[in-house]
Amino acid sequence: MFHVKFFRTKSSIIYKMNKFSERLKEVRIENKMTRKQLADALYVSERLISYWENGKRECNFDTLIKICNIFNITTDYLLGRSEF
């Protein structure tokens, strides 16, 4: 029996982070929300929002779901897997 293992390259991980970063900032601005307002809604620091938007950190799964609920978007859109 053969086992297939998925190997992610560093560039594919960076691409996904960049999409998340770009889209998070995009939807936040489109909804006229400041980093402070989003941070308060998620019970995190404003600095952490900045790290996410600049691609320096990732959020956890639960926070990802909360972000999507706040902006009424899908996780696929936020992660760059779909265009709407």
- Whether the CB-CB separation of 70 and 38 falls below 8 Å is answered with yes
How would you classify residue 30: left for phi > 0, otherwise alpha for psi between -120 and 50, otherwise beta? alpha
The DSSP letter of residue 54 is T
pTM above 0.85, yes or no: no
Domains of the chain: 12-78 (1.10.260.40)
* Single-letter code of the amino acid located at 52: W
What tens digit of pLDDT does each residue of 6-35 get?
445 555 555 556 899 999 999 999 999 999
What tens digit of pLDDT does each residue of 32-48 get?
999 999 999 999 999 99
Q: Is 6 helix (H, G, I), strand (E, B) or coil?
A: coil
